[in-house]
Chain A
Amino acid sequence: MTRALRSLTTALGALALAAALGGLATVPAMAQDAKIKIAFVSGPLYDSFFPPLYQGANDAAKDLNVDLNYIPIDEHDIEASSARTMQAAIAQHPDAIVVGSFISTVVDPLIKQAVAAGIPVYVNQSGRATWKSTGAFGFVGQDPLDVGIIAAERLQGGGAKNILCVINVPGNPYLQSICEALGGRAKELGIASENLELPTADSTDLNKVTRNIGAYLQSHPTIDGVFTENALVGVAATAAVETVQLTGKVAVGTMEVSAVALEQIESGKMLFLINEQPYLDGYYGVLFAYHYAKYGIAPVGEVATGPSVVDAANIHKIKGVFEQYANVIGSK
């Protein structure tokens, strides 16, 4: 029994070794026949932004017959887990890595490491400012600065003279840079702006977020425009505006899509939302990485998937698609 087991183990070990050696030896030659392996490091599915991105990546993997491994980072431990997930991706030695560089100081050195190890890397969704210096072959996503600029312009168009920019994940440089860009554009337009960082402890409790924004609006009566960086926080903002009885006086715009946000744009409670189109981030991320790994070709430079604005002008089309297809426009 024991001997049988031992010889079985030896046989298996030899097999595994042979497979590993064979694999190593034939990687370049195999590229045109074997399934392309892509590791996709991006956000967690508990954040409502990411399910459409995940869906897009999966749809592309299915359409292209790609072996996709989606590795989610943990937002509550964003620095450490950004490093861990990227290291895990490198360790698997895929044909290409697609990565969201949320914390570029942590992720960029690892991108360089992957590139040095011969794995092509495509930067996705986050990391537009620094991707060129990492050796990555391209970027698909949006420029956060554009989001802030468009938000300031749209809110000013809605009559706002003092905009409150709500940051729902404190310390997140991506969200912070959007509010900074909003502030910069507001200054150019001759209007005021300020930031509100929600405490970490409240970031998941939307009733508390509603109260926080309501309290801030009541104690800062000059605010007449609110921009939020998450659709649920946007709905919390419209609820707060209603509670403080400023409906019609405070315009609200948000990033991201949700069912309620779309309804509120239809009914006029919310002025607009900015969709980064995360489904495209996921789909193109896999598509471009696949093309590059298989044929060595890819779009040159950056592909912008956003910001795309949903407002009274296009709400019917977008809402229809949202209701018909799960996780294409946004999470339901």
Chain B
Amino acid sequence: MTNTQSAAAGSSSEAPANTKSDDGATRRRSVFAGLITRPETGGILSALAVFLFFAVLAGKSGFLSPLGTAYWLDTAADLGIMAIPIAMLMIAGEFDLSVGSMVGAASIIVGICTGYFGLDPWIGVGFAFLAAVAVGLLNGFLVVRTKLPSFIVTLSTMFMVTGGALGISIGITGSSSISAVATGSANFVFAAKWYEFNIALVHWIIIAGVAIWVMQRTPFGNWIYATGGSLDTARLAGVPTNRVKMILFLCTSIGAAFVGVMETYTFQNASVTLGAQYVFSGIAACVIGGLLLTGGYGSLLGTVFGAMTYGIVSMGVFFLGWNSELTDLFIGLLLLLAVLANARLRQFAMGR
């Protein structure tokens, strides 16, 4: 029985097929073990658990209302769009700490172009994405060339991006916060909403869908897992690991710029500091979703549910009506529980 279980755990995706036993109990156990060892299971269970928690404790005060639902989904969507490329990069074994500052930089670029100079909203979007490409290439180039830990490289680009954006903004407009209103098609693409459900939800579903397809069905997806799993082996096997990393750094930067533009046009205000929290919540979403910080392991579906968990927790606390000074403590505690449960689940499933 233990043998069957570990065999199933070893090749999680084919768990049921590996079980030859006719014993119904073992079979069910193995299906269970197969499910439980999938990297996304922890994220799904975390999301479910916190949802039930708030549904019971805050359902009556509006958490389950259409507004409450829209609120946590919107929060999850903004974070989720950020987190997908972050997760891909983390699976490839690298970090990008500059994402939060890129959100603010994209925001203030849009603010300067649209709000200050009154240009077409798409011109601001264009410049924001150009800046994102530049920052992404710089990150990728520095990491690949210097072989320094990306944690340190992107920590320094984080400061550079924030400082640069602030300098440009103060230099041109004299301010670090500018109102920016999108019109026409740009307003629809970045800021449309139905009731309180933001268009970010649609983007999130599309981006997550495409990314999951890339990870599971294309050679590039395999390259990402291989790069993070064992860099040298991957290189020997002919995987262009440098190119993989460059592309992924580009993706995190562009993802950040996309969220920056969206949030700016939604709130109609650009700010250099917008999105600074994503450096933490983005990684949190990935880890809750079952990613390992060491790379080579994880699932983007898990990341999707990790973002949902964060959205539910960080929004749900406001429906509880508890002492708001404890909100931060409470969010941190729930996130810790989610990650702990996830790790425990994996150990349990591995039969240890």
Contacts and interface: CB of A to CB of B under 8 A. Distances in A.
Interface of A: 45-48, 51, 55, 76, 170, 195-208, 210-212, 214-216, 218-220, 232, 235-236, 239, 243-244, 258-260, 326-327, 331-332
A258 B267 CA distance: 14
B176 A48 contact: yes
Give the residue among A51, A208, A243 with the most B Cβ atoms within 10 A: A208
B266 interface: yes
Contacts of A332: 116, 173-175, 178-179
Given A207-B266, A215-B319, A46 B272 contact: yes
Given A201-B281, A239-B267, 6 more contacts: A47-B273, A206-B269, A206-B271, A215-B67, A259-B179, A260-B268
Interface string B256-286: 0000000100111101111111001100000
A174 B104 CA distance: 26
B32 interface: no
B75 A243 contact: no
Contact of A211 (B63, B170, B271, B315): B315
Contacts of A216: 318, 321, 324
9 contacts: A45-B166, A201-B280, A201-B314, A204-B277, A205-B275, A212-B315, A260-B268, A326-B174, A332-B179
Give the residue among B68, B71, B275 with the most A Cβ atoms within 10 A: B71
A260 to B, nearest CB: 6
- Of all A-B residue pairs in the complex, the 9 with the closest CB atoms, nearest first, are A215-B318, A219-B61, A48-B177, A218-B62, A331-B175, A201-B277, A204-B273, A211-B71, A206-B267
B67 A205 contact: no
Contacts of A51: 170, 174-176
A184 to B, nearest CB: 18
A170 B332 CA distance: 15
A210 B67 CA distance: 12
A199 B74 contact: no
B96 interface: no
Contacts of A196: 324
Contact of A47 (B176, B277, B325): B176
Give the residue among B116, B268, B327 with the most A Cβ atoms within 10 A: B327
Contacts of A212: 315, 318
A239 B267 CA distance: 9
Nearest to B181: A260
A110 to B, nearest CB: 25
B78 interface: yes
A20 to B, nearest CB: 31
A219 B321 contact: yes
B270 to A, nearest CB: 10
Contacts of B23: none
B122 to A, nearest CB: 21
Main secondary structure of the interface of B (DSSP, over half): helix
Nearest to A236: B267
A121 B274 CA distance: 34
B102 to A, nearest CB: 13
A48 B175 contact: yes
Contacts of B177: 48, 232, 258, 331
A232 B271 contact: yes
A219 B174 contact: no
A204 to B, nearest CB: 4
B110 to A, nearest CB: 14
B75 A201 contact: no
Nearest to B273: A204
A55 B280 CA distance: 33
A207 B327 contact: no
Contact of A218 (B65, B116, B266, B327): B65
Interface string B14-45: 00000000000000000000000000000000
Nearest to A232: B269
A205 B315 CA distance: 13
A220 B321 contact: yes
A210 B269 CA distance: 13
Contacts of A170: 325, 328
Nearest to A194: B324
A212 to B, nearest CB: 5
B196 interface: yes
Contact of B319 (A218, A260, A327): A218
B155 interface: no
A197 B325 contact: yes
B231 interface: no
B58 interface: yes
A220 to B, nearest CB: 6
Give the residue among A196, A198, A201, A218 with the most B Cβ atoms within 10 A: A201
B186 interface: no
A237 B3 CA distance: 59
Nearest to B267: A206
Interface in B33-85: 58, 61-63, 65, 67-68, 71, 74-75, 78
B138 interface: no
Give the residue among B74, B162, B178, B318 with the most A Cβ atoms within 10 A: B318
A4 B174 CA distance: 46
Contacts of B314: 199, 201-202, 208
Contact of A197 (B58, B321, B327): B327
Given A205-B275, A259-B179, A332-B175, A243 B67 contact: yes
Given A199-B331, A332-B175, A45 B324 contact: no
B175 A205 contact: no
Contacts of A219: 58, 61-62, 318-321
